[in-house]
Amino acid sequence: MHPDLPYQIALTQIPGIGCVHAKTLAEHFDTAEAIFKARKSTLENIEGIGTIRANSIKSFTDFSGAEEEVKFISKYKIQPLFLTDKYYPRRLLNCYDSPTMLYYRGEADLNATRVVSIIGTRSNTEYGKAITEKLVKELAAEKVLILSGLAFGIDTTAHKAALKNNLPTVGVLAHGLDTLYPTENTKLARQMVAEGGGIITEFLSGTKPDKHNFPTRNRIVAGMADATVVIETDIKGGSMITAELANNYNRDVFAFPGKTTDIKSKGSNYLIRVNKAALITSAQDLLELMGWLPEPEKKKKVQRELFVELTADERKLVDLLNQNEQMQIDDLYLKSQLSTSLVASALLSLELQGIVMSLPGKVYKLA
């Protein structure tokens, strides 16, 4: 276990320090331990921390809970993922409220090339079940990571369909890894872990599946994926919250339409009507709108000569796009090692110059 792990876990237990503040602190210090050992005056001067939160950090002394969690992690071979861990889901890092810690059991790559969240009602119709199974089956050839919440209904159907079609699937939990809710899905969760998928949570062991944990969980379902697909949902409920969160994170949201008289499709139809979700009827629609379909083979382009002056940042992005047919914006952030604002500014300039073009799903390629 990494020696910084107890401090990383303890950071999530400090009163008044939520995930937004923890992220700010992690950007200022090399380790979590350094946060606890920093001078009060240093902490106070960090924007967003101030005197009250600095006092809370300096007065925190009870590391017993963190030490117990380290034992639990070690005993059950759980992978702890702090904000700065290289295996931490990078898509989540682009969300302002990224979880400070994640606890993961499984083998699936959380930074897979393509990640799709499939969500919907707990009391689905046969139509919803059939749509979910068909969608996952059609996505099998694309090696997509399927994400959902391991709840009854559409979530369970999506996970089972992924297993049936040999796709990795990860369940995001609203409680600690010492239990499984609903208990009826315990066998399914074990199968997901055993067959190359996994289960993940931001909650410590001993945390019960309390009602208020589910909206918190839903932001991970939305933030970890490139696209969120709503199968069936009423106008209120967890799926509508997740869709709203995905929109707030600038993720692509899609929905399957249903009968106008069907209560179970009322939410899906609403999302489509107010342009908070794009209407799809198949995996083909999803792949096309996300820019994930292979382009028809073209004659090899003669390498262009650019008679324009490029800034260092613009040149870095052009070089990356020269090496790759197309790149998702998260990969451009990661591989260019530029800040999000610098990447956005450089891409806008390159688009205006006609050098780069944007595709659906926040994908970019050379024009």
Q: Where are the domains of the chain?
A: 5-105, 107-290, 312-366
Question: Between 104 and 356, where is the model more confident?
Answer: 104
Q: Is the distance from CB of 145 to CB of 196 less than 8 angstroms?
A: no
> How far apart, in whole angstroms, are the C-alpha atoms of residue 4 and residue 26?
12
Read off the pLDDT of residues 242-270 as tens digits, 9 standing for 90 and up.
999 999 999 999 999 999 899 999 999 99
Confidence of residue 237 (pLDDT cuts 50, 70, 90): confident
pLDDT of residue 305 exceeding 50: no
Confidence of residue 168 (pLDDT cuts 50, 70, 90): very high
Determine the pLDDT at residue 306.
47
This prediction's pTM: 0.81
CATH 3.40.50.450 fits 107-290, yes or no: yes
For range 256-285, the mean pLDDT: 95
Determine the pLDDT at residue 296.
60
pLDDT of residue 302 exceeding 90: no
Phi-psi region of 153 (alpha: psi -120 to 50; beta: other; left: phi over 0): left
Confidence of residue 339 (pLDDT cuts 50, 70, 90): confident
pLDDT of residue 308 exceeding 70: no
Handedness of CA 298, 300, 304, 310 (dihedral sign): positive
**CA neighbor of 340 nearest in space, from 310, 313, 321:** 313
> How far apart, in whole angstroms, are the C-alpha atoms of residue 271 and residue 157?
22
Question: Among 177-191, 241-255, 305-319, 324-338, which stretch is predicted with the lowest mean pLDDT?
Answer: 305-319
**CA neighbor of 119 nearest in space, from 225, 3, 260, 8:** 225
pLDDT of residue 200 exceeding 90: yes
> How far apart, in whole angstroms, are the C-alpha atoms of residue 356 and residue 360?
14
> How far apart, in whole angstroms, are the C-alpha atoms of residue 106 and residue 104?
6
- Mean residue pLDDT of the chain comes to 92
CATH 3.40.720.10 fits 312-366, yes or no: no
Read off the pLDDT of residues 350-367 as tens digits, 9 standing for 90 and up.
888 888 988 887 889 988
